[in-house]
A and B are shown apart, each in its own frame.
Chain A
Amino acid sequence: MRILALLKRIIHQMVRDKRALAMMMVAPLLILTLLHYLLSSNTVDPRLGVTGVDETLVSQLKDKDIIVKQYDAQANLKQVIKDDDLDGFLQFDGDHINLTLINEQPSAAKALQMQVTQAIAAENAKEQAAKITTFIQTIQSKLQGAPIKLDQTKAPAISTKFIYGNEDTTFFDQLSPILVGFFVFFFVFLISGIALLRERTTGTLDRLLATPIQRRDIVFGYLSGYGLFAIIQTLIVVFYAVKVLDIMLVGSLWNVIIINLCLALVALSLGILLSAFANSEFQMMQFIPIAIIPQVFFAGIFPVEGMPEWMQVIAKCMPMYYGGDALVSVMYKGLGLSDIGIDLLVLLGFALVFIVLNVIALKKYRKI
């Protein structure tokens, strides 16, 4: 029942600490909203200057949503591109083709380069086809007898199917499940870690340990107290993401909540554990770049399979790796509980290890 006493106290404290409460409940929503609008905003059509390019190619480029501007031959391309705010310049000089790209944003430049190359290739193919036709016709006219019929190859229509997502899925749809999990992880880590740290630095932990409370009761008291707020936070974040931001959720909402609760439990026990190695709030913050930020990298935003062997090993030590995988599986791929079972078990395993370590770490403050 000492756990209950601790739980009650933490609720009292938390309800009074409006800032911490706001940080836990509102901050993730703000960041999520911002990212949502940033990542799903429309891309701007690229602007391409051209010179010596024939009309058919120009109209092809225009079909690809490229804004084409015709120029006379230009001497100083760099200046023109800068002055007229172009993304690239295409120059036909006899047989020679020059494409100059501003490359302010490599990904946009690559996309433009690809579109231009495709358009030119298509144009060439058409010309080639026309030439072959005239060639055959010429030969035919020189031959006697019935004309050989030339079958026109029709361009095959490709119909694309998507196993996960659809043609409208954006990067944000794949990213958002990871972000939801990460925010839950991050804020729970911070709040619980700093709370136990404060308990230690103000001496109340010592005072607490001068009562007959067991060390594990303290750990479980903390877990239940901050766990309660983590549950509320998880519910708010998940509902907001799904209902308000309309983030893609193919699988079950309940599974999403279960995954996030497991993540919160890991964050909670990790936060409390790391706070034992910090002597001030600032030192607690220093754990963020070491213990928290790398979690994002391995959560599935960058494909882990492509990483070097040793980095894959690191990835497998990160709770967010499993959390991210489970969340993407449910929210994006629509998989069920049986597919994320392993992920959940690993997460619970992390939590269990951290909890045991916590109970041991408290020995530093009281030997029994």
Chain B
Amino acid sequence: MSASISIKNVSKSFGKKVVLNNISLSVEPGQIYGLIGPSGSGKTTLVKLIVGMDRPSEGLVHVLDTPVPNLNLLQEIGYMAQADALYTDLTAEENLAFFASLFKLSKKVQKERIAYAADLVNLTDHLKKRVQDYSGGMKRRLSLAVALIQDPQVLVLDEPTVGIDPELRQSIWAEIQRLKMTGKTILVTTHVMDEAEKCDRLAMVRDGEIITSGSPQELKEHYGITSLEEVFLKAGGEKK
């Protein structure tokens, strides 16, 4: 089987502003692929192209060998947006149930998935609470649960651990690893370096371009440094 996510020579501009410039990358099935880059570098824009919310100005995006955008493909993509997008006047359970009912799932499976996803992010005890009474971290976790609700093949997580305490962050990463074991492909964006260490492959993004990519180990060896942070600075420096 070929790559789960394949991006070829993708550029994106808003008006005159070029936000992504000739980006190519491919994510193999069962991989955790990290996009790391400073604020405003274009990570979210790239993620939205992968999900199919927007079309690239140039280039091609394929997910599971299907050209994006494609409606049926969305059944297989779990998307966690950078900003929590939840119905705050509903309870967590109602949020999960609503999103579950938008996918092709039987009633029984819907119930199971809601229970599974809530348990995964430790929200089982708070399901009956309205989301407006949630803390920031709880909302983040609920967003992750929503992304997992339809048991998708590909997960696209835009800064999944922002606002989550270290302990829970650990457990979320443990779960991401476990999802990987079940054969899921995961693309995460982050600007936290220690999370980047946990990825199988990394692409460092700056000003809409991939400045370097490879496994964390390869990157460190290539630049002869032990910390990714320094790799990032060095790669960015070379580019300039």
Contact = CB atoms under 8 A, between A and B. Distances in A.
Interface of A: 1-2, 4-5, 8-9, 12-13, 16-17, 202-204, 206-214, 365-368
Interface in B64-78: 69-72, 74-75, 77
24 contacts: A4-B101, A5-B102, A9-B87, A9-B94, A12-B90, A12-B94, A13-B87, A16-B89, A202-B85, A203-B84, A204-B85, A204-B87, A207-B79, A207-B81, A207-B99, A210-B74, A210-B81, A211-B102, A211-B103, A212-B75, A366-B53, A367-B53, A367-B54, A367-B69
B98 interface: yes
A203 B87 contact: no
Given A211-B103, A212-B72, A212-B104, 16 more contacts: A1-B101, A8-B98, A9-B90, A13-B87, A13-B89, A17-B89, A202-B85, A202-B88, A206-B53, A210-B77, A211-B99, A211-B102, A212-B102, A214-B71, A368-B52, A368-B71
Contacts of B102: 2, 5, 208, 211-213
B103 A368 contact: no
A365 B51 CA distance: 12
A362 to B, nearest CB: 12
A211 B96 CA distance: 13
A204 B89 CA distance: 12
A232 B101 CA distance: 26
Nearest to B73: A212
Contacts of A17: 89
Given A13-B90, A206-B81, A210-B51, A366 B69 contact: yes
Contacts of B89: 13, 16-17
| Nearest 3 Cβ contacts at the A-B interface | A207-B85, A203-B85, A5-B101
Nearest to A207: B85
Contact of B98 (A5, A16, A212): A5
A365 B79 CA distance: 15
